[in-house]
Structure formats: C-alpha cells, structure tokens
C-alpha cells in the first residue's frame, strides 16, 4: 500500500513536469511579440532586440525550455515578471491564499450540501420532493456560473447594498464568490448522487439485506449509501478542475487579486513568465486534489484497495 502511494506521488510529479512542458511550448508557439507589447507600436527595432536578448528570447527553443524547466521544477523559481521587472514569487505568494480560500471553501460547501440534496432526492425518488430538488438542480446546472455571479452582484451589492461590489477588504467580499462558485457544484453533485442512489435501489443485495430482517434505516445507511456514494468521490476532481479553471473569470468579476486575475492581466500584456507560473500553480493544485481523491477512493473502495494490496504482495 505504501509503495502504491509513493508510486502515485511520483507519477503525479511526472504529470506536472509534462504539464510544464506543454504550457511552455504552447506559449512559445504564440505569434505575438511580447517586447512589442511592452514597448508599444513606436518602439525601435534595437529596443525590441535588446528586450528579447534580456529575456532570453533569442536563444534556441530547447535552451529556453531547459532554462524554464530547471528553474521552475528544481529551484522553484519562476523568474521575473516582464511587465514589472520584479520577481514573480512574492506577488504569487501573496495571491495564493485568496484563491485557495475561495476554491477550497466552495469545494467544502458543495460536497456535503450536494450529497445531502442528492440523498434526499434519491430516497424520495419519484415523489414531489425529488422533483423540486431536481428542477432546482437542473436550473443551477444550466445557468452559467459567471452570469449568476453578475446577477448576484447586481442584486445583493448594487440594489440591496448588503455586500461590497468588489474587493476583499472584509470577509463580506468572500461571501458571493464562494457561494456562486459552489452552487454549480452542489447541483452537479446532487444530480450524480441521486442517480447513483436510484441505481443502487434496484440492486439485488438490497433485497438480500431486507430478507435478512435488516431494518429499513440500516438498509439505507449501511447498504445503500456506501455503495452509492463511493463513486461520487471521483467527481471531486472534476469539481476542483472546474472551480480552478473558472477562477480567472470569478476573480475578474469580483475584482479579487488572486492567482486567476493575476494570470488574466498577465495574458493581456503577454507577460509570459507570469502566465506560466500561474498556470503551473493552478495545474499543480488541481492535480494534487485529484491525487488526494484518488488515494481516498482507493482506501475506501475494497476493490481498489485489494488491487493495491495484491500489487504489494507480488
């Protein structure tokens, strides 16, 4: 089991290195000229050449790639921002907690609420409670999250004035980003849990348990839910990818100085070291959450657990 965890960790590191390679190469392929962007249209050719040399852009692809990979993955140094000529790390470091706070809280919110709603709907399958929950979830799944955020701002911040329109000076600034971020995930989780429960409902082993004389609530809690909820854990990796991927838009809407908005501003000014650093950070975070969900799933699903154990035996 220990060996498996180590293997899985090593594998994650490899995936991350490959991701770094992909991100670097994608940005290398860009036809834009970053120096031109910084200096404006009136810049002289020699100035542009000077900047390109300063940033090392006149070197061959492989040399640039090695330079980036070496610094990013071995020395954990993403270099300086081209736009501000200042090291990226301190800036990134001050922004990470905000992004993490919003996304992790949204994730922590959508898991229990989504699962609870799903169980509620599933156990009332076909009755009106089920229909109400499912209609709400259907609407939440269909409405674009960022638009919902805009509408919430318009209602709660502009019209009612309950919350600040932007900024995170007080805790109130975090309320809407977290809630609007979680809503989509809650709906998605609820739908998945419900269909999993409806599927388990028909399984023969539920009848077996009833035939043993197991009371109905024990049937629900110790036979139905464990089997229905196990696959749900994997859906967390999807939810976190969705949240992190959407954080650029969320932070843009709520004017939160987080990693996503850092990336967005940098991408508008073609500040590639910053884009690379933020993108690698977001992928690393996503991959780590996926790793954790994978391991947790492995520990609680006997089938996968046994596969680990037998792998160790061999």
Binding to other proteins (CB under 8 A) within 124-163 occurs at: 138-139, 141-144, 146-148, 150-151, 153-154, 158
Q: Would residue 178 be called left, alpha or beta, if left means φ above 0 and alpha means ψ between -120 and 50 degrees?
A: alpha
Q: Which of residues 234-293 bind other proteins (CB under 8 A)?
A: 241-242, 244-246, 248-249, 252, 263-264, 267-268, 270, 275, 279, 282-283, 286-287, 290
Q: In terms of CB distance, is 50 or 275 closer to other proteins?
A: 275
Q: Does 296 bind other proteins (CB under 8 A)?
A: no
Considering only 205, 255, 296, 312, the residue that binds other proteins (CB under 8 A) is 205
Considering only 214, 232, 233, 292, the residue that binds other proteins (CB under 8 A) is 214
Least distance from other proteins to the Cβ atom of residue 162, Å = 15
Q: Report residue 109 CA to chain centroid gap.
A: 14
Integer CA distances (angstroms), 210 to 63, 184, 281, in order: 68, 36, 50
Q: In terms of CB distance, is 50 or 166 closer to other proteins?
A: 166
Q: Would residue 80 be called left, alpha or beta, if left means φ above 0 and alpha means ψ between -120 and 50 degrees?
A: beta
Tokens standing for residue 221: 């809690």
Least distance from other proteins to the Cβ atom of residue 173, Å = 16
Q: Which of residues 70-129 bind other proteins (CB under 8 A)?
A: none
Q: In terms of CB distance, is 5 or 47 closer to other proteins?
A: 5
Report the 10 Å Cβ neighbour count for 309. 12
Total of chain residues touching other proteins, rule CB under 8 A:
73
Q: What binding mask, one character per residue, do residues 27-56 give for other proteins by CB under 8 A, x or -?
A: x-xxxx------------------------
Q: In terms of CB distance, is 105 or 150 closer to other proteins?
A: 150
**Cα(188)–Cα(182) distance, integer angstroms:** 10
The SS3 of residue 87 is strand
Least distance from other proteins to the Cβ atom of residue 223, Å = 5
Q: Does 222 bind other proteins (CB under 8 A)?
A: yes
Distance in angstroms between the alpha carbons of the first and the last residue of the chain? 12
Considering only 94, 170, 207, 255, the residue that binds other proteins (CB under 8 A) is 207
Tokens standing for residue 104: 């992790």
Residue 270 and residue 32 in contact, taking contact as beta carbons nearer than 8 Å? yes
**Cα(21)–Cα(17) distance, integer angstroms:** 6
């Amino acid at each position: 089991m220990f060996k498996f965890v180590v293997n899985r960790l090593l594998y994650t590191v490899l995936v991350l290195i490959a991701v770094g390679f992909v991100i670097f190469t994608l940005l290398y392929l860009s036809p834009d000229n970053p120096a031109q962007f910084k200096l404006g249209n009136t810049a002289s050719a020699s100035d542009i050449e000077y900047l390109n040399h300063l940033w090392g852009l006149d070197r061959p692809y492989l040399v640039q790639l090695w330079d980036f990979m070496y610094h990013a993955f071995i020395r954990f140094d993403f270099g300086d921002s081209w736009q501000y000529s200042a090291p990226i790390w301190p800036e990134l470091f001050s922004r990470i907690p905000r992004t993490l706070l919003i996304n992790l809280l949204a994730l922590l919110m959508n898991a229990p609420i989504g699962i609870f709603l799903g169980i509620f709907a599933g156990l009332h399958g076909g009755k009106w409670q089920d229909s109400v929950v499912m209609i709400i979830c259907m609407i939440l799944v269909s409405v674009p999250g960022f638009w919902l955020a805009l509408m919430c701002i318009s209602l709660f911040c502009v019209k009612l004035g309950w919350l600040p329109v932007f900024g995170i000076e007080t805790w109130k600034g975090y309320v809407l980003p977290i809630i609007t971020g979680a809503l989509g995930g809650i709906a998605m989780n609820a739908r998945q849990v419900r269909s999993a429960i409806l599927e388990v409902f028909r399984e023969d082993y539920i009848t077996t348990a009833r035939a043993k004389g197991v009371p109905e609530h024990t049937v629900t809690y110790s036979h139905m839910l464990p089997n229905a909820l196990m696959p749900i854990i994997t859906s967390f990796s999807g939810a976190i990818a969705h949240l992190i991927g959407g954080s650029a838009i969320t932070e843009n809407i709520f004017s939160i100085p987080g990693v996503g908005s850092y990336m967005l501003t940098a991408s508008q000014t073609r500040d590639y070291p910053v884009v690379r650093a933020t993108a690698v950070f977001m992928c690393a975070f996503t991959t780590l959450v996926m790793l954790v969900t994978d391991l947790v799933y492995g520990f609680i699903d006997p089938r996968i657990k046994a596969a680990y154990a037998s792998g160790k035996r061999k």
